[in-house]
A and B are shown apart, each in its own frame.
Chain A
Amino acid sequence: MSEQPISRQTLPEQTLPARAMSGRALRQLPLRILPAPLLLARRGSLGGRGSAHLIERHARAYRHTWLVLASGFVEPLFYLLSIGVGLGELVGRVKFGGQPVGFTSFVAPALLATSAMNGAIFDSTFNIFFRLKYAKLYDAVLATPMKAGDVALGEISWALIRGGLYACAFMVVMLAMGLVHSAWAVLAIPVALLIGFAFAGAGMAATTFIRSWQDFEYVTLTTLPMFLFSTTFYPLSVYPRPIQLVVDCTPLYQGIALLRGLSLGVVGPGLLWHVLYLAVMGTAGLAVASRRIRKLLLR
């Protein structure tokens, strides 16, 4: 539900304004997610301290639209509520890790993971494409001592800062609604940031290959089915075995499984595989994005 069926618009967005596109994207996305200060300190091919300047630039730019930023938080709240009062009643309890759990408790961590994905994808695709092709922001940035790696890292970090704030707010609501069942849930926020990092890296790498607004259809065509089918609303056991294997491979499923395990207290060493998967995905994305941005802009 976090993505609505989109009627493709016939007019402007396709050429003009990214703003149209970003606006359209914005409405599809409930939450965003995270970056890590330790990443900021890294130097070398993946970017360095310069990225902090880009983060500052974005923070300044968003001061003008803080209301939009702040109100983004109510969206996941609506979703949680509708599941709490509506679907939760219809479904009753779901079996997870051998224990029956309330449907809302079952879905909430998945919504957090989806928000992390959507937020990171929004920031790293629509926004970056606009800055790359229309606002010519990076042309201006790279005319200074900043490096391509700074740009890539700066963008991902910004996406993660935003996402981190939203994730914290979401966790507060989950606590208040009594949807957190384990102390392991304190790890939910860093994990949400990790999910954001994985998708932001992959999203940014993908963005450097995008040619026009039309191509963003592919982004939606990837994220929407993932949202609907990666066990957000029902356990993996609903599917026949072959489909289970496919779902198991999607990055969103990895994130959902991780967050659900932590939140419901079903924790084992197996969760580390999910962590590794997401970390590799983000790092690879970041490396590709840095190289591609350098190629695109420093010709």
Chain B
Amino acid sequence: MTAPALRVGSPQRYDRVAGPGRMAVRAFQPWLVNYRRTWRGTIYSSVLMPVLYLGAMGLGLGTLVNQHGTASLGTVSYLVFLAPGLMAATAMQTAVGESLYPVFSAVKWQQTYQAAAATPLRPGDIFRGHLLFTTMRLTMNMIIFLAIMSLFGAVRSAWVVAAVPVAILTGLAFATPLDAFAVSQKKNDQAFNMIFRFGMIPLFLFSGTFFPVTQLPAWVRPLAYVTPLWHGVALCRALSLGTADLAGALGHVAYLAVVAGLGLAAGARSYRRRLHV
């Protein structure tokens, strides 16, 4: 069998390094290619989870809450109270799901990151490429969530549309620092269990998704207020109920943006340290 003629030292080589945006798009593509084969399953859970939670907690548990009185919720039904909070919490979970294990696997188990680092892509490009993918997944899930919560009749204001970008930003405030953390893990994924156990689960339970933070003892509340999830929950809820005011909204957005921005800087640094040793 004769080998075909190959060419090497191709002449168009000098224009292969592009600006950061286009390089990030290049790094984003493998995630997309991969996603093309698994998207069906993800849509399935993206639809099913909100339906199950809104049904069981919003409607089922809601009957008990509504009987007892909802003055502390702002006299809306429990479903209406819960849905926007759950939206922000779902954004957090999507972001966490796309950050920790996929990133660790790419750098440790599959080494797809190392493969990418051997090309013109810089560590920062690889990082931002993954964030593009996370953003895409967040956008999909939040739109699906909005549709489902509308079908449940859990929306009180058209402003709820603005909750989608807010939830995406909330997700990114988790995705950027967790990407930075995941990529820096050298040995194994053990630390991730701790993050879930001592980070995500308490956040999920105590950041105002299921009950107002004001029910927490006064000394614990400040802890809830510093978490990005609380800001996301508070703003999504205000938008969905139509009670948002500009100053409050800007404050929440600014806080989330600062956290996401810090994560962005940390991620660029830890990707470089891990991939260019």
How many residues of chain B are within 8 Å of chain A by beta carbon? 62
Minimum distance in angstroms from A226 CB to a CB of chain B: 11
Query: Are A7 and B98 in contact, with the CB atoms below 8 A?
Result: yes
Query: Are A23 and B97 in contact, with the CB atoms below 8 A?
Result: no
Query: Are B45 and A217 in contact, with the CB atoms below 8 A?
Result: yes
Cα A26 to Cα B192 in complex, Å, equals: 10
Query: Are B102 and A85 in contact, with the CB atoms below 8 A?
Result: no
Cα A87 to Cα B192 in complex, Å, equals: 28
A90 at the interface (CB under 8 A from B): yes
Chain B contacts of A8 at CB under 8 A? 38, 41-42, 44-45, 97
Interface centre among A6, A67, A72 (most CB of B within 10 A): A6
Query: Are B34 and A7 in contact, with the CB atoms below 8 A?
Result: no
Minimum distance in angstroms from A244 CB to a CB of chain B: 13
Query: Are A5 and B49 in contact, with the CB atoms below 8 A?
Result: yes
Query: Are A20 and B202 in contact, with the CB atoms below 8 A?
Result: no
- Minimal Cβ-Cβ distance residue in B for A6: B45
Cα A224 to Cα B49 in complex, Å, equals: 9
Question: Known contacts A10-B34, A238-B60: does B211 contact A23 (CB below 8 Å)?
Answer: no
B196-226 CB mask vs A (1 if < 8 Å, else 0) is 1110111011100011000111000000000
- Minimal Cβ-Cβ distance residue in B for A19: B189
Chain A contacts of B57 at CB under 8 A? 1, 228, 233
- Minimal Cβ-Cβ distance residue in B for A107: B61
Cα A86 to Cα B110 in complex, Å, equals: 42
Minimum distance in angstroms from A83 CB to a CB of chain B: 9
Q: Which of A74-82, A149-157, A193-201, A273-281 lies at the interface?
A: A74-82
A57 at the interface (CB under 8 A from B): no
Interface centre among A5, A12, A233, A234 (most CB of B within 10 A): A5
Query: Are B193 and A229 in contact, with the CB atoms below 8 A?
Result: no
Minimum distance in angstroms from B84 CB to a CB of chain A: 15
Q: Which of A12, A89, A234 contacts B106 (CB 8 A)?
A: A12
A9 at the interface (CB under 8 A from B): yes
A214 at the interface (CB under 8 A from B): yes
Tell me the chain A residues, 1-47 only, with Cβ under 8 Å from chain B: 1, 4-14, 16-17, 19-20, 23-24, 26-27
Cα A12 to Cα B30 in complex, Å, equals: 13
Q: What 10 additional pairs, Cβ within 8 angstroms, besides A71-B198, A78-B202, A89-B72?
A: A6-B45, A7-B46, A10-B98, A19-B188, A87-B211, A90-B211, A229-B60, A233-B61, A234-B64, A238-B60
> Which B residues fall within an 8 A CB radius of A?
31, 34-35, 38, 41-42, 44-46, 48-50, 52-53, 55-57, 60-61, 63-65, 68, 70, 72-73, 78, 90, 93-94, 97-98, 101-102, 104-106, 109-110, 133, 137, 141, 188-190, 192-194, 196-198, 200-202, 204-206, 210-211, 215-217
6 closest Cβ pairs, A-B complex? A5-B49, A12-B105, A27-B196, A86-B211, A228-B56, A7-B97
